[in-house]
Structure 1
Amino acid sequence: MESKRGWLKQSFGKRLNAIHSWNAWILLLLTITGIVLSIGAIRGELGSIRVTLKQLHIYLGVASILLIALYTPMIRKHWRQIRARRNQRANLVFVLALLAGWAASGVILWQFRHLPPAWNNTALLLHDLLTWVGVPYAVYHAISRSRWLKRQQRLEQAAGAAKPPAAQPAEKDPVAASEATVEHSTAQAVIAALKDSPITRASFLRIAAGLVIVIAVGPAFYRWIKGALDNGGSATADYIAGDGNSMLPPPAPLPDSAAVVGGGAQGNFRIYTVTEIPAFSSDTWQFAISGLVDKPGVWNWEEFLKLRRTVQVSNFHCVTGWSIYNCTWEGIPLKELLAAAGVQKKAKYVKFYSGDKVYTDALSLDQAGGDDVMVAVLLDGKPIPQKLGGPVRLIVPQMYAYKSVKWLQGIELIEKEHMGYWEVRGYDNDAWVNRSNNA
């Protein structure tokens, strides 16, 4: 209560400055944590720290929303104070729009488990877009409003005010004096135009700072927006063209897979990995099923391709908020692999091993028996590229993608529950996209 009274006793200007300072610090921390969280290449190095950073990012976002709520009663008076300053009004509108957009999209991404995937996809796109626009603008704003630049501007204004008045001509013949005055004024105007640059030093430095930021951020922003607007899977085609795997012969697609009955993956996969992306060769690649089974098995690449495959169309959902729709997957239903191996009564869980020799995860036998759980070898009629988890990956469409183990090479039937790579680092073991599925 005392702190609230103390806050209200402060002058309007002090409260406004305090909110501005807090918002700047929170935005800085949000930017740092957000950038770190978005770098897929360091997910493995971060480990459990990444989960902590994600929680910190959420808490900072909530704090930002509280600042907006604290500022809301002050908007009307602040708006009146800057009514004669168009630039400041425009800045205020832009910043409030940024904060509101960040807050709304951030809350949706925070509560992703309770909302439709399409909402999350849109929110993630908006959150990213606002970040690409807002963070460079915040940097520019910080530079252009810095004390040093303000001091430069004050010095320039003082220098302009200190200019001596123009000398008055001596009394002459009225006609000659008039002509001389006109000539003098014209000449003085030319000299003044040469002296007074239309761009002051402070203005030049602002423009230069803006250009540096645009040059630094522009190419990366172009690549991002190109990928964000590409909804036809052209990035997947690039992954296939640059595939580092050497798997011969390539799998021959079934008719439905070749025809891409799902219409083709809609959206672009974001590449995440906890290790360096491995490469595989059919000369050394093997796939194994072992553990609590009656018939353990090992297959080389050619033998594996002879196993009966089916085709399914399903969506792919990442726990970070993005989704890919209408993927046409071709592969071996997991329940058929398990049935052929002969699961023993003691077995309760299915453990999956990635060929990166680091990542593991598990499903219960009931979960693994789903009709759409697949050991996939083709996506949209093409071999799954290395960056997307090929040559073979697990697909569990109704769960978030950290359950869909990439570079799958081993399956083990076990009795005790296994916590996967991300689960031991704080991820929810209940990975259903829709909680109602976990009845």
Structure 2
Amino acid sequence: MDNKRSWLKHSFGKRLNAIHSWNAWILLLLAITGIVLSIGAIRGDLGGFRVTLKELHIYLGVASILLIALYAPLLRKHWRQIRTQPSRRANLVFVLALLLGWGASGVVLWQFRHLPPAWNNTALLIHDLLTWVGVPYAVYHAISRSRWLKRQQRLDQAAAAAMARPPAAQPAAYAPAAASAADAAAERTAAQAVIDALKKSPITRASFLRLAAGLLLVIAVGPAFYRWIKGAFDTGGNDIAEVASQDGNRMIPPPTPLPDSAAVIGGGAQGNFRVYTVTDIPAFSSDTWQFAISGLVERPNVWNWEQFLALKRTVQVSDFHCVTGWSVNKCTWEGIPLKQMLAAAGVKPSAKYVKFYSGDKVYTDALSLDQADYDDVMVAVMLDGKPIPQQLGGPVRLIVPKMFAYKSVKWLQAIELIDKEHIGYWEQRGYDNDAWVWVPQEGV
């Protein structure tokens, strides 16, 4: 209560400046943590710290929303105060739109387990778009409102004012000896013309520095923003073709698609995959690649590439959901149903869990036998009628459509039946072992 009274005792200007300052620091920390979280290449290096960083990002986002609530009672007076300054009003509207958009989309991403995946995908797109626009704008705003630049502006204004003042009369002792009135008038006219030209100069030092800062930001951010926006709004699955063109796997022969797979019965993946990995992306060759199933089974087995391709495959259409908020919908997967492989191996009664090993020799995860028995859990070898690219987990990866993708182990090379629960790579680092995607209740 005392803190509230103390805050209300502050003048309007002090409260406004305090909110502006707090908001600037929070936005800076949000930008830093958000950018670090978005870099897929360092996910593995961050390990468990990534979960802590994500929680910090959420707390900072909540603090930003609270600041908006704190500012709301001041908005009306502030708006009236800047009624004669259209540029400041435009800046205020833009900043509030950014903050509200960031806040709303952030809340959806925070509560992703309780909302439909389509909401998360839209929220992530909005959150990323506002970040691409908002962070460079904040940097430009900080530069253009910096004390140093304001000092340059004051110097420019002082110089212009000095040039506009008429020259002081000189003492008679120092006056020119003799000059005709006509010469004096002509000289004054010429001098005034120079001053008028300088006063109409198209750009001051402060304006030039603002323009230079803006151009540098456009040059630095522009190409990356173009690539992002092209990928974000390209829902035709071209990203799959792009990563396939850089494929480092050498698997011969390639799998021959089944008719439904070749026809891409799902219509083509809608959306784009984001490439995440906890290790360097491994490459595989059919000369050395092997796949094994062992542990608590009656018939352990190991296959080379050609033998693996001879196993009976099926085709399914399912969505792919990442725990970070993005989804790729209507993927046409071709592969061996996991329950088919387990039935062929003969699961022993003592087995309780299915453990999966990635060919990167680091990543592991597990499902219970009940979870592994779902019809759509697949050991996949093809996506949209083509071999799964190396960057997307090929030549073989697990697909668990009803769970978030950290359960869908990439570069899958071994399955082991075990009797005790196994905690996977990301689960050890704070992710939920229960990775179910949101499922709507009946009637919703």
* Class of the TM-score when normalised by the shorter of the 2 chains: over 0.9
Q: Is the 8 A contact 1:113 1:435 kept in 2?
A: no
User: In structure 2, how many angstroms separate the alpha carbons of the residues matched to 1:214 and 1:312?
Assistant: 44
Q: Which of 392, 403, 407 is residue 407 of structure 2 equivalent to?
A: 403
Residue 377 of structure 2 aligns with an amino acid whose one-letter code is V
CA contact (8 A) 2:116 2:440 kept: no
Equivalent in the alignment of 1:306: 310
Kindly indicate whether residue 231 of structure 2 is the aligned counterpart of residue 227 of structure 1: yes
- Report the counterpart of residue 99 of structure 2 in structure 1: 99
How many angstroms apart in 1 are the aligned matches of 2:288 and 2:302? 12
Q: Which residue number in structure 2 is paired with residue 172 of structure 1? A: none
Taking the aligned partners of 1:421 and 1:80, their CA distance within structure 2 comes to: 55
Note if contact 2:351-2:419 (Cα within 8 Å) is conserved in structure 1: yes
Partner of 1:165: 166
After TM superposition, the structure 1 = structure 2 runs for residues 41-80 of structure 1, keeping only pairs within 5 Å, are: 41-80=41-80
Give the superposition deviation at 1:198: 2.0
| AA at the equivalent of 1:21 | S
Deviation at 1:161, TM superposition (A): 2.3
What is the number of residues matched between the two proteins?
Answer: 430
Q: 2:86 — aligned with what?
A: 86
Contact 2:117/2:438 (CA < 8 Å) preserved in 1? Answer: no
Residue pairs, 1:204-353, within 5 angstroms:
204-353=208-357
CA 1:117–1:179: 2 relative to 1, 3 Å: farther
What's the secondary structure of 2:257's corresponding residue?
coil
User: 1:140-179, CA deviations, whole angstroms, 9 ceiling, x for partnerless residues?
Assistant: 00000000111111122222223331689xxxxxxx9999
**1:333 Cα deviation after fit:** 0.4
- The equivalent residue for 1:394 is 398
Q: 1:256 to 1:27 in 2, by over 3 A?
A: same
Contact in 1 for aligned 2:317/2:333 (Cα 8 Å): yes
* Cross-structure match for 1:355: 359
Residue-by-residue CA offset, 1:161-207 (whole Å, 9 max, x unaligned): 23331689xxxxxxx99999699657733552146522111111011
Letter of the structure 2 residue corresponding to residue 261 of structure 1:
I
Pairing 1:141-160 to 2, within 5 Å after superposition: 141-160=141-160
Matched to 2:410, the amino acid is K
State whether residues 286 and 301 of structure 1, in contact with CA within 8 Å, keep that contact through their aligned partners in structure 2. Answer: yes
User: What residue ranges of structure 2 are gaps of 5+ in the alignment?
Assistant: 170-179
Identical counterparts, % of pairs: 80
Taking a change above 3 Å as real, the CA distance of residues 191 and 165 of structure 1, as seen in their structure-2 partners, is closer
One-letter code aligned to 1:136: P
Counterpart residue number, 1:417: 421
Q: Name the SS of the counterpart of 2:25 in structure 1.
A: helix
1:361 corresponds to which letter in structure 2? D
Q: Deviations over 1:282-325 (max 9, x none)?
A: 00000000000000000000000000000000000000000111
Q: 2:111 — aligned with what?
A: 111
Q: Deviations over 1:21-71 (max 9, x none)?
A: 000000000000000000000000000000000000000000000000000
- What SS does the aligned partner of 2:325 have? coil
SS in 1 for 2:319: strand
Q: Which string of whole-angstrom CA distances, capped at 9 and with x for unpartnered residues, describes residues 333-389 of structure 1? A: 000000000000000000000000000000000100000000000000000000000
| Mapped contact 1:251–1:383 kept (Cα < 8 A) | yes
CA distance, structure 2, for counterparts of residue 189 and residue 430 of structure 1: 79
2:378 to 374, 380, 386: 374
Post-superposition offset of 1:435 = 5.2
- Which residue of structure 1 aligns with residue 14 of structure 2? 14
Q: Residue 95 of structure 1 aligns to which amino acid in structure 2?
A: V
SS in 2 for 1:268: coil
SS in 1 for 2:133: helix
Q: TM-score, normalised by structure 1?
A: 0.95
Aligned to 2:176: none
Per-residue displacement from partner, 1:204-240 (whole Å, max 9, x unpaired)?
1011011111111111101101111111011110111
Q: Which runs of 5+ in 1 are unaligned?
A: 169-175
Alignment deviations for residues 375-415 of structure 1 (CA, whole Å, 9 cap, x no partner): 00000000000000000000000100000000000000000
In structure 1, give the amino acid aligned to 2:61: G
Matches of 1:177 and 1:105, distance apart in 2: 74
The root-mean-square deviation of aligned C-alpha atoms, in Å, is 1.8
Q: Is the 8 A contact 2:19 2:71 kept in 1?
A: yes
Cα distance, 1:241 vs structure 2? 1.4
Match of 2:354, SS state, is strand
Q: Aligned equivalents of 2:433 and 2:45: distance in 1? A: 21
Alpha-carbon contact 2:160-2:199 (below 8 Å) kept: no
Structure 1 runs (4+) greater than 4 angstroms displaced: 176-187
Deviation at 1:123, TM superposition (A): 0.4
